Structure 1
Amino acid sequence: MKAIIELCSRIDNALAAVINVAVTVLGFFIAFSMVGGIVFRALLGIQVFGLEELVLMAAMWLYMLGAALASRERSHLSADFFQAFSDNEVLHDVMRLIATGLSLVMAVFFVNWSYSLFSWGFEKGQVTPVFGIPQYFSQVSLLVASVLLLLYVLRDFVHDVSKMFRKA
């Protein structure tokens, strides 16, 4: 069992490293593309066709991979207002478990919805107007992010349940 956990941890760390590199590259690409588009259009009077569709796809991937990293680090937005009203640690643990359970249910729905969107886009064969890039290329970012969200929320749920049992 410990070997499986160690393997999962190594895979997770490698995946996080790849995602961090991708987020950095995408962030630079979007920033330089936006500046380049403004310079070409406003200063040089040259219209750059297709730049918007590349930036849009990169932004979709950037946002979705960033959301996956936030889920991995459990640093996404949360409303832990019970901690402000109570010092009861058991109540905090129960509320965290309920919130993680609800997140798990929602993650399953997200995977289902994003798969439906991806498969619909794949069937329709829609492409971008300038470069002819398939639309499902950006839609699959939702599927990748929702699968990663599901895995990380499942990890957090197992952690929260085991924490409750250890205290009991």
Structure 2
Amino acid sequence: MMVRFFTQLDHKMGLLLNATALISSLLLVGLMLFLVAARYIFGWSIVGLLEMIMVFGMWLYMVGGLIASRKREHLVVDFVQTNIHDARMRRLHQGLVSLITLLITLFFVYLSYRMLKWGMRRPQHTPGLSIPLWVPQSAILFASVGCALYSLRDLIQCALGIFPDDQQTTSDQEVQ
């Protein structure tokens, strides 16, 4: 029952993240094309356009990192893991990596929260459109909280002995 709930929640979160990335990408590319056309074809200088591009770019970058974390496709150094052939030792290694990742992401949550809190107490705005700087900074907090939750998911799955990669590893060993 709980597994189904979390699976459905993960699926819905994936759809939301993908939609956010797609919308941010389209807005980013569209605004960049408009900026180039406005400047070099029409000779217009549109105040604040780069600021809007920066906001969408920040959200796209942070959501992209969160999507990679969700799919376990973020950057990893797997030299040690690929050289561990004992399944129990591999699980212990994955648990240790998950725990370290959780602690680091919790530290980033703390830092990004403090940054956002500071930005709201001492508000600064972009010069053209007066966009509060906490708008792009909130993307950092969003991504750090999401990555912390996904690393917690990985730690729990490791503790329960649930590994999405185990089926692939087992079938790879059977082929050899």
Q: Same-fold call, TM > 0.5?
A: yes
User: Which residue type is aligned with residue 23 of structure 1?
Assistant: A
Superposed CA RMSD: 1.6
Structure 2, unaligned stretches of length 5 or more? 163-176
* Per-residue CA distance 1:71-122 (angstroms, 9 max, x = gap): 1111111111024434333332222211111100001101100100010001
TM-score, normalised relative to structure 1: 0.89
**Alignment check: 8 A CA contact 2:81 2:93 kept:** no
User: Within 2, Cα distance between the matches of 1:43 and 1:104?
Assistant: 49
Do residues 149 (structure 1) and 147 (structure 2) align?
yes
Q: In the TM superposition, what is the alpha-carbon distance from 1:52 to its structure 2 partner?
A: 0.8
2:86 aligned residue? 88
Structure 1, unaligned stretches of length 5 or more? none
User: Which residue type is aligned with residue 151 of structure 1?
Assistant: L
2:4 aligned residue? 6
User: Within 1, Cα distance between the matches of 2:24 and 2:155?
Assistant: 31
TM-score, normalised relative to structure 2: 0.85
Q: In the TM superposition, what is the alpha-carbon distance from 1:130 to its structure 2 partner?
A: 1.1
Alignment of 1:18-37 (within 5 A): 18-37=16-35
User: Within 2, Cα distance between the matches of 1:153 and 1:83?
Assistant: 17
Alignment of 1:27-106 (within 5 A): 27-106=25-104
Aligned length: 162
User: Within 1, Cα distance between the matches of 2:50 and 2:41?
Assistant: 18
Q: In the TM superposition, what is the alpha-carbon distance from 1:34 to its structure 2 partner?
A: 1.2
Deviates more, 1:71-80 or 1:11-20: 11-20
1:131 aligned residue? 129
